[in-house]
Amino acid sequence: MDKFTYPTGVENHGGTLRIWFSYNGKRVRENLGVPDTAKNRKIAGELRTSVCFAIRTGTFDYAVRFPDSPNLKTFGVGKKEITVKELEEKWLDLKKMEICSNALNRYESVVRNVVPRIGGDRLVTSVNKEELLYIRKDLLTGHQTRLKMKSPAKGRSVVTVNYYMATIAGMFQFAADHGYLEANPFNGIKPLKKARVEPDPLTRDEFIRLIDACRHQQTKNLWSLAVYTGIRHGELVSLAWEDIDLKAGTITIRRNYTKLGELTLPKTEASTNRVVHLIQPALSILKNQAEMTRLGNQHQIDVQLREYGRTERHDCTFVFNPQFVRRCKQVGFIYKVDSVGDSWDAALKRAGIRHRKAYQSRHTYACWSLSAGANPSFIANQMGHASAQMVFNVYGAWMADSSTEQIAMLNQKLADFAPLMPHSPHNNIRALLKSVS
């Protein structure tokens, strides 16, 4: 074969060889980067023949055969090499537009704990399911079988480990969806089974002792309102008098204060702008609190919306103002969520009550209300759940067995609607015989 003869599909390009072939209905060219010699032309022809055969038989993998080809982007095929650390940065950067800053902070915490265990410098294509299972084991037990740490870490709860794994699985699914992986290595890894954690509400006696142990009236009012309404603590500390209608007996939940010190919309869509109906003790608490803070300073607050980069301005005269308890330049005009939890812990300790997390104030409201026979759907709306299903799942044991009361109510409400039923034939015959005799 002389230097002017080329096999089919092989051509000279600037002194080097390239091949052309049809792929997905388009004619494409791939530079081989080798000198144009008789030997190389023969090898290029054989390569081109094997490529065409693989395309015809459906076994052609463009990315494997030509991993550096610019045509990969054109056809949107193949794996693009990326390290775990690069994937983390890309994923988090794009997540910023989808989630609130509080959620982003949680995601960043997860990757800080998990990515070093996987290995940030590794290619994502090298991560396999077996080692992910070992990482899950390490997170659960606290042992560092695959990662040398300066000091052993404490084992995490099943709930936390499942959350970590689900979050990182989402990151690797992003890699699979965008061509960095053929398949997500997390596929088939099921969540660890966890024991159901029952609510641990305060008893009536414990609640009274807790309130008595609070050293300031505003603190007493805060925890009383928390128990009487069941609202989340971020919603509680960001509550403003502009949200309250004492005459109608309602609170409208418009915002939430996060642990990052940001005012956002409430946690879920079902929570936003929900109307909480107040029972009489809650109204009394607010009337007492109004004497302390109702005429306080009004602040213009920017509340982050769910749409990326957008905010909304709220005029807020906050119901619970920490400056009223402690007049100090370092104290702001709104309670931090952590500091509220600290006041709960301190009051429990002073009252000699078994320790519970502050979130039990919300469970206490739900359990007390359901024990009193309240409708689960009503409780779900009050607490900001999307449906009553969660109420049934979490608080089923506290639902009162009110069969007698329900029957009495139905008898009262439906008696006038019941159709008149004819007497039986035997009763009619007896009545006729009695009239004849």
Cα(7)–Cα(18) distance, integer angstroms? 11
Known active-site residue 232: yes
Q: Which of 18, 362, 363, 365 is catalytic?
A: 362
Amino acid at the residue 65: R
Residues in the chain: 437
Whether the Cβ atoms of residue 361 and residue 226 lie closer than 8 Å to each other = yes
3-class DSSP state of 301: strand
Q: Which of 232, 233, 255, 363 is catalytic?
A: 232
Known active-site residue 385: yes
Q: Which long-range contacts (CB under 8 A, 24 or more apart) does 388-396 make?
A: 391/366, 394/199, 394/366, 395/199, 395/363, 395/366, 395/367, 395/370
Angle at CA of residue 328, ends 322 and 329, nearest 5°:
105
Cα(386)–Cα(409) distance, integer angstroms? 28
Strand order in the sheet with 10-13: 10-13, 16-23, 26-35
Q: Which of 267, 274, 356, 363 is catalytic?
A: 267
- Picking from 328, 332, 245, 234, the residue whose alpha carbon sits closest to that of residue 282 is 245
Known active-site residue 362: yes
Angle at CA of residue 321, ends 315 and 327, nearest 5°:
130
Known active-site residue 327: no
Q: Any idea which residues carry the catalytic annotation? A: 232, 267, 362, 385, 395
